[in-house]
Copies of this chain bind each other. A is one copy, B any other.
Amino acid sequence: MAGFLSDLRVVEVSAFIAAPIGGMTLAQMGAEVIRIDPIGGNIDYRRWPLAPTGTSLYWTGLNKSKRSVALALHKPEGREIARALICAPGEGKGILLTNLPASGWMSHAELSKHREDLIMLRLTGNHDGSGAVDYTVNCASGFPTATGPGGDPVNHVLPAWDIAAGLYLATGLLGAERARRQDGRGREVTLALSDVMLASVATLGYVADVQVNDSVRPAMGNDLYGAWGRDFPTRDGRRVMVCAISNRQWQAVGKATGLTDKIAMIGPMLDVDLNDEGGRFEARHAINAVLAPWFARHTLAEIGEAFAGTGVLWGPYQDFGQLVREDARCSTANPMFTTIAQTGVGEILAPAVPLGFAERAPAAPAPRLGEHTEQVLAEVLGLTTCAIGKLHDAGTIAGPKE
């Protein structure tokens, strides 16, 4: 079996989340991903959270399974090595993934002089090339003003646009490489972080809702929109999210709580059809009023027992600590996770790519910065030990710190 993404090599010149997630996804699927950084690390190398040693849990989390090459990118000699790595020959090679300003030597036009069929994936802030990050894209998206109980806007904490952008980059990269196998042509594929946001908002119908209905989705706390679902506090101070999309899920809520008869009074009372998801949305305040006391009378464990096997869609709220300590899905009982030894961090739980397939490899640690500099220069560029030693002495390349 050839394996997933065998013979695919991606050179990543990146920082932060989006491009690194794109590269890591491909690396965890089996591609060779070489991340090039300036000597000493890029701007994301010390990003919080940190381990007690100062090693970034963020950087090591986002760069698992990659090879690390550290080069003096501010010097022509360092750039020449980067270019040689990016443009090295071979099918499935000659692919650059970057979210750094790709002008000058790193532009598609310049690099294509050294490999005509170069594929380049390039993330920018906005489509006109101007800067934007997840935070400044998100505030414009409409979602913060629709999040929470209303009033002041609430930012999401998950860097959702960055994650989506990283996965678009991975998809686009595989698409461009597939096309190159058919027609032999290189391509530049661009992606603007704000376009990821705009496409998502429009795809979910919110743009059309404004254009067609003149309707602006307001904040409605933790209530679902257009169907029934919300959070309820439990007797023991926990909180659960419960929802019903299908009629079967909806009927299961009534059955499991023993409140079918009381819920049935709501339809005639409010003149809504509770067998319709929109009707359940319209009647949500009455539905919640009937159900809330039931949750308030039961502990999380009792609710779990009452819902087990019923088809009710629900789950407990967890903070990051509870997720790690109490949720079996966040442990090696989940085949996606293994325990790895990460330099500077210690033994930690680490996920493989969430896609499950026969050849999926378990998580491998992130490299130390510059860990593969010498190895990659020898393997990919055929440099001799002597030549590598000279580059090292000249400060053009760097290995890992002792």
Quick one: which of A348-387 are within 8 Å of B by CB?
A: 348-358
- With a cutoff of 8 Å between Cβ atoms, the chain B residues found around residue A57 in the complex are 205, 208-209, 212
Judged by a CB distance under 8 angstroms, whether A136 is at the interface is yes
Inside 8 A of A313's CB, which chain B residues have their CB? 131-133, 135-136
* Interface size range of chain A in the complex: 35 or more
A269: interface (CB < 8 Å): no
The answer to the question of A297 belonging to the interface, with a C-beta cut-off of 8 Å to chain B, is: no
Chain B residues near A160 (CB, 8 Å)? 156, 158, 160, 163-164
Shortest Cβ distance from A58 into B: residue? B205
**Distance in Å from the Cβ of A38 to the closest Cβ of chain B?**
13
Q: Determine whether the beta carbon of B171 is less than 8 Å from that of A140.
A: no
* A145 at the B interface (CB under 8 A): yes
Identical subunits present = 2
For residue A78, CB closer than 8 A to chain B, the reply is no
In the complex the two chains form, what is the Cα distance from A146 to B146 in whole Å? Answer: 17
10 interchain residue pairs of minimum CB distance: A48-B226, A57-B205, A167-B167, A142-B320, A174-B174, A160-B160, A136-B315, A139-B241, A195-B354, A216-B321
Q: A154-B222, A164-B164, A204-B61 are in contact. Are A320 and B48 (CB under 8 A)?
A: no
Q: Decide: A187 near B358, CB < 8 A? Known: A158-B200, A335-B127, A345-B212.
A: yes
Pairwise interchain contact A357-B176, C-beta atoms closer than 8 A: yes
Tell me whether A292 is interfacial, beta carbon within 8 Å. no
